[in-house]
Chains A and B, each alone.
Chain A
Amino acid sequence: MSGYTRLDNSKLARWWWTVDRWTLACIFMLIGLGYVLMLAASPAVAARIGATRDMFIFKQVVFLAIAGSVVLATSLLSPRGVRNLAFIGTVLAIGATAMTLVHGIEIKGARRWIALPMMSVQPSEFLKPCFAVLTAWLLTRRVAGRALPGMIGAFAVYAVILLLLKSQPDIGMLSVITTVLLAQLFIDGLNLMLVGAGAGGMVAAFIGAYAAFPHVRSRVQRFLHPDKGDHYQIDTALQAFGNGGLTGRGPGEGRVKDLLPDAHADFVFAVAGEEFGFILCAIIICIFCFIVVRSLLKLIAEDDPFVIIAATGLVTGFGLQAFVNMGSTLHLIPTKGMTLPFISYGGSSAISVALTLGMLLALTRRRTRPVVRAGAAVYA
C-alpha cells in the first residue's frame, strides 16, 4: 500500500493514487473466488468428459493470471487510450465474429467460437466492452449539441453486430449488447419516451425470438411451467442450493454438484451454494452489486460525458451478465447460458471481463479536473 508516496510522480505511483482501489480489491476477490470455486466445481465435470481431473483447474489458473494482468494493464490507460483500444477492439471483434460464421466451431448448435492452439475464443465476448466504449465515443461526438451523426454511427455499428449475432445465433449476447446500448442512450439523455420505445422494441424482439427459435421457446416454456417438461438442470441446481443451506456442506463436500451439468461454467453459482452456502453466495452478490453501484455512483461526480457513458456501458454489461447468470441458476429468470464473471470457467470470458473492468478502472481513475474551457475544448 505504502509502496508509493504521493510525492512519487512515476506512472505507477500516479496510477496507485488515482485508481479506484475498492473496486480493484473487489476484482481480485472475485479472481480469488474463481480459483476456489474452480477447484470445487471442475473435477466432476472433468471426470465426466474424460479429461484429467486438473485440466480445467490448470487452464483456469493461467486464464485468471492473464485476466489479472489484463485488468492492471488496461487500467493504466488514459481515457483516450481506452477509446483507441475500444476502436481497434471493435474492428477486430467484428471481423472475428464474422469469421466464426465461416470458420467457427459449432458447439451445441451455435457457431460462436474460433479454435486457437491453446483455447477456443469467443470473439463476441470482446465485442461487448469494446462496442460499449465505441458507442460512448460516438454518442459524445456532438456537433453544436446535436447528437445525431454520432448516434447514427453507433446504430450503424449496432446493425452490423445485430446481423452477425443473429446469424450465429447468440441471442443472449445480442440482448446484453442491446440492453447496454439502451442503458447508454438512457444515460446520454435520450427522451424517456424513446427509451421506453427501445425497451418495447426489445420485448417485441424477444417475442419474435420466442416464435423464431425453438430453444428459446422451450426455455421460456419450462420457466413458466415448472411442473412440466424437463427441469433436470434447474432442479439439480436448486437441490444443490437446498443441500447447502446457510453455511454450506464445506469445501469438497458437495454431492449434488457431481450431477450438475456445466457445474464449472454456467452453474458454478450452485456449486458455491452447495459447498459454501448462503453466506458465500450473498458475499458474491454483494461484490458484484458493490462494483456496479459504486462505479455508477462515482460517475455522478464525473463531468466528462464520454467517461460517464462509456463506464456506464461497461459496468452495465458486467452487472447484467452477473445478474443473468445468478438469476437463471436460481430460477429467477429463464435459463440463459451466460458466465459468471471471473468465477465461471472460460478463457474468453475471463479476459473479456478483465478488459471490461480494466477499462472501467482506467475511466474511473481520478484525474486532475480539466478547466471548463479545456473541457469544452475536448467536446469541440
Chain B
Amino acid sequence: MSDPQGRESNGRETVQAAPQGAAAAAFGTDVNVTGGELRQRARLERMHTRLLALSGGFCLIFGAVGVKLALATMLAPMAPAARQIAPQVPPIPKVEHGAALAGDIDIPTVHRATITDRNGQILAISLPLASVYANPQEMIDPAETVDRLASVLPKLNRAEMLARLQSKKQFVYLARGITPDQELRINDLGIPGIYFEPSEKRHYPLGRTATQVMGAVDIDDHGVAGVERAFDRRLTADRTPLRLSLDIRVQAVAREELQAALTNFKGIGACSIVMDVNTGEILAMVSLPDYDANEFGKADPNDRFNRCVTGMYEPGSTFKLQTAAMALQDNVVHVWDRFSSRPIHVGRFTISDMKTDHFAPWLSLPEVLAYSSNPASAHIALDVGAKRQREWLKMMGFLDRVPVELPEAGRPVVPGLSNWGQVAVMTIGFGHGVAESPLAIVRGTAATTNGGFLLKPTVLARPTPPDGLAPAAVQAVSDKIDDKAPDASVQPAIDDTASAAQTGNAGIGNPADAPGAERVISPQNAELLRRLLRLDVTKGTGKTSEVEGYLVGGKTGTAEKVGANGRYLKHLNIAAFTSVFPMNRPRYAVYVMIDSPVATKETHGWTTAAWVAAPVVRQIISRAAPMLGLFPKPPAEAAALDAALAIPLEPSIPSGTRSLGPGNDPGDPGEGASPKPGRARVADTAPRPHLDAKLRHEAAWIPGRTAADSSGAATR
C-alpha cells in the first residue's frame, strides 16, 4: 500500500480514542481541535472501517467467482458434446500391421463400405482424404497464401488459385482429395480463412481387375457405374464390407488368358464370364479392353464398355444349344431324329454350312450340335415354329435384359413380333438375327446343364460358406465328388443335381434353392443336353477346349459380323465358346468371346471359335479349376465318367417310333408350308402344354438303354 503511514496513524487513533498528538503529528500541523473536527474525524473513521468491510465483500464475491471457475474448468467440468468439439483434422487411421482382409481395416472416418470378393480380398476401399477450401473474405494476403500452399501442394495452379482467393465469394475450393499428411501440413501453416472438409476417395487396389464390374464413384462419392452404382445405397448405409461373388483369383486368370488371346488374334475386344451354374454367382467377368478403375474419368468409353452385359452380339452357333433344348422340351424332336443339312434358299437368303464342311445330307440331333450345322438347326427351329420359339426365348430370358444387379445390363436386340417370320425362325435357330449379351448366353447354358433351372445371375456372394477358403472343406468336397465316381462307372445314370442335393455337399449349391430359380427344362432333357455338350467337346467342334480330367462340355459359336451396310462380313467373326465343367456334375460355366479375331499361322487362317475361343476356355479351366477346389480326375476315372456321359453320334431309333428324317420333316420349307398330318399335334397352332404336363410324357432316353431297351422307353 502506498501510504501505510496514514493508515497506521488512523488505527492508533481508533484504539486510543485520543484525537490529538499522533494524529496532529501525522497531519504535520499544530491545530486546535474543535468539536466539528472531532465529528469530522469520527465520520472519516467510520468511512474507513466500512471501506474495509466493502473490500472484504468484494474479496468474497470475487473469491466465489474463482471457486466456481475452478469447479467449471477443472474440478467438475461439464464435458462438451462430441459434435461441439468435432475435430477439423481427422485422426489418421491405424491399420494393423499385416492386415490383409477387409475386416481388419476399419477406417472410422469414411462412410462408404468396402467391397470385397468372395474371399474377402479388397476390391474397393474408401481412403480418408480432405478437401481444402477457403473463405476469400477472411484472407489476409492471397498471394502469400498461394505461395505457402504451393509448398505443400506443388501441383497447385498458382494463377488460378490466386484468382479464386481474390474473388468476392465466401467459399472457394482450393484442392480436393489431399492426403491426411498434406492436410496436417497445411493446417500447420496456420493460414486464416483456410478450412478443411473431410472427404474420402475410392481406391481400387487391383486396378484393372474386374474394373467394369466395380464401376466407379463420382467426385461426390455417388456410385455412377457398376457395382458402385447398383449398391450405392447399401454401400453408404451399411459400413460392413459388401461381399461380391467374384473370385478375384479366377478373375485374374480369366483376364490374363483373355488378354493373351486378344493380343495374339489382334481382336478389337473380348469378354469372358465364369459363373457357378448351381447358384448363379458370377466368379469372373472380364471385358477387354479395360482400364484402371482408379482412372475411370480418363478411361475411353470403349474401355468402360462391359461387353459381358452391355455388349449385344449375335450368339451364332452357341444358340443351337437353345434350339435343341427348346425342341426337346417341347417334345417336338427326339435325340434320334435327323435333319437335313442341305442349304436352304429362302428368298434372297441362303442358309448353308461352310463349304469346307462336308456333312452328310441328314444329321442326327447329336451330330447337328457336334458339327454345328446351320441348315439342320434351322429345320429344328422350323419344326418348333415361331410362336413357341418366341415363347421359349421369352421364358429363357432372351427377350429381356438379364436380371443381374449391374446397371449396365442392356436389352437384347430381337425381332419384333411382326418380323418374327419364317426366316427369323430359321436364323434364330442357329443364332443369327438376334443379339444377346454374353451373360444371357451363359445363363441359358447353365440352365441346360444344372438340371434345368434358369437362375438369376448375381454379382453378390450367396450367404453359403465360400468355396476354397478352408482347405479341409475343399478336400471334403472333392472327396465326395470322387466318391461318386465309382457309382457313375457302375450305374449308367450320371450324377445329377438332385443327387448332389441329397448328398448335401457343402460348397455345391442346389440350383433349385437359388433365389429366383425357375425350372425350365426337365431333368431328363437337361441330362441329355449335358451329354450333347460333352459330345461337342469329345467328338465335335469344341475339341480344343478339352482339359484332361475335367470333362468339359461346351458349344462353339462363330457369328459373322454385320457391317455398316447391314450385310454380313465374311471375314470378321465373333468367336465364342460357352462351356460348363465338369460335366459329370456341372459346377461352373466358362464363356469366352473374342470380337473380330485375325487369323494367325497357328490357326491356319481360321478365326472360328474352335480355333480362337475354345483354347482360351481350356487355359482358364486348367488354371482356375484348382483354385476353386476342383482337381482333374485321374485318367481311368475320367474315362469311366466319360463312358457314362457318352452318347452316340447317331442314336438308334426306338422301334415303333416314326422319327423325323428323310420324308418326314414337317417344317421344311422345301416341302411346302402345310405340315404333314402326323405332326399336326405339335404344329404352331397347338397350345403349348404346361411344363408339368410335359414332364409326364417325357421321352425317357437313357444312353445305356439306347440299343437294348429303347422299345420300353418308347412305349411308355
Question: Across the interface, do B62 and A278 meet the contact criterion of CB distance under 8 Å?
Answer: no
Chain B residues in 8 Å Cβ range of A242: 72-73, 77-80
**Contact among A189, A255, A296, A379 for B84, CB-based, below 8 A:** A255
Question: Across the interface, do A53 and B137 meet the contact criterion of CB distance under 8 Å?
Answer: yes
What's the minimum C-beta distance from B235 to chain A, rounded to whole angstroms? 31
Chain A residues in 8 Å Cβ range of B72: 238, 241-242, 273, 330-331
Q: Which B67-84 residues sit within 8 Å CB-CB of chain A?
A: 68-70, 72-74, 77-81, 84
What's the minimum C-beta distance from B176 to chain A, rounded to whole angstroms? 23
Per the bound structure, the CA–CA distance linking A261 and B123 in Å amounts to 48
Assuming A239-B80, A330-B68, is B74 touching A301 (CB within 8 A)? no
Chain B residue total in the interface (Cβ 8 A): 49
Question: Across the interface, do A300 and B73 meet the contact criterion of CB distance under 8 Å?
Answer: no
Question: Across the interface, do B68 and A331 meet the contact criterion of CB distance under 8 Å?
Answer: yes
Q: Does B233 count as interface, using CB distance less than 8 angstroms?
A: no
Chain A residue total in the interface (Cβ 8 A): 61
Chain A residues in 8 Å Cβ range of B16: none
Question: Across the interface, do B73 and A246 meet the contact criterion of CB distance under 8 Å?
Answer: yes
Q: Does A143 count as interface, using CB distance less than 8 angstroms?
A: no
Chain B residues in 8 Å Cβ range of A288: 62
**Contact among B36, B39, B44, B55 for A293, CB-based, below 8 A:** B55
What's the minimum C-beta distance from B53 to chain A, rounded to whole angstroms? 8
**Contact among A186, A241, A327, A332 for B54, CB-based, below 8 A:** A186
Q: Which B112-169 residues sit within 8 Å CB-CB of chain A?
A: 135, 137-138
Q: Does B37 count as interface, using CB distance less than 8 angstroms?
A: yes
Contact with B along A321-336 (1 / 0, CB 8 A): 0010011001110000
Question: Across the interface, do B54 and A371 meet the contact criterion of CB distance under 8 Å?
Answer: no
User: A325 — nearest CB in chain B belongs to which residue?
Assistant: B65
Question: Across the interface, do B85 and A243 meet the contact criterion of CB distance under 8 Å?
Answer: yes
What's the minimum C-beta distance from B465 to chain A, rounded to whole angstroms? 48
**Contact among A187, A235, A303, A330 for B69, CB-based, below 8 A:** A330
Contact with B along A47-89 (1 / 0, CB 8 A): 0000011100000000000000000000000000000000000
Chain A residues in 8 Å Cβ range of B62: 285, 288-289, 292, 319, 323
User: A294 — nearest CB in chain B belongs to which residue?
Assistant: B1
Per the bound structure, the CA–CA distance linking A319 and B65 in Å amounts to 12
User: B69 — nearest CB in chain A belongs to which residue?
Assistant: A281
**Contact among B66, B85, B138 for A256, CB-based, below 8 A:** B85
Chain A residues in 8 Å Cβ range of B27: 369, 371-372
Question: Across the interface, do A372 and B37 meet the contact criterion of CB distance under 8 Å?
Answer: yes
Assuming A238-B78, A242-B77, A301-B3, is B51 touching A52 (CB within 8 A)? no
What's the minimum C-beta distance from B63 to chain A, rounded to whole angstroms? 8
Q: Does B360 count as interface, using CB distance less than 8 angstroms?
A: no
Q: Does A109 count as interface, using CB distance less than 8 angstroms?
A: no
User: A323 — nearest CB in chain B belongs to which residue?
Assistant: B61
**Contact among A43, A259, A298, A376 for B40, CB-based, below 8 A:** A376
Question: Across the interface, do B51 and A293 meet the contact criterion of CB distance under 8 Å?
Answer: no
Per the bound structure, the CA–CA distance linking A369 and B27 in Å amounts to 8
Chain A residues in 8 Å Cβ range of B40: 376, 379
Q: Which B55-111 residues sit within 8 Å CB-CB of chain A?
A: 55, 58-59, 61-62, 64-66, 68-70, 72-74, 77-81, 84-86
Per the bound structure, the CA–CA distance linking A327 and B61 in Å amounts to 9
Per the bound structure, the CA–CA distance linking A281 and B325 in Å amounts to 88
Per the bound structure, the CA–CA distance linking A145 and B36 in Å amounts to 8
What's the minimum C-beta distance from B464 to chain A, rounded to whole angstroms? 49
Q: Does B502 count as interface, using CB distance less than 8 angstroms?
A: no
Contact with A along B659-682 (1 / 0, CB 8 A): 000000000000000000000000
Q: List 25 A-B contacts (CB under 8 A).
A: A20-B2, A53-B135, A187-B47, A189-B46, A238-B72, A239-B80, A243-B85, A278-B69, A282-B66, A282-B70, A285-B62, A285-B66, A292-B55, A292-B62, A297-B52, A301-B6, A301-B10, A303-B44, A305-B44, A308-B51, A319-B62, A331-B68, A331-B72, A332-B65, A372-B29
Since A297-B55, A327-B61 are in contact, a sample of 9 more A-B pairs with Cβ atoms closer than 8 Å, ordered by chain A residue number, is A187-B51, A189-B47, A238-B72, A240-B80, A242-B79, A242-B80, A300-B7, A301-B1, A330-B68
Q: Which 9 A-B pairs have the closest CB atoms?
A: A242-B77, A241-B72, A239-B80, A289-B62, A301-B3, A278-B73, A301-B6, A296-B55, A238-B78
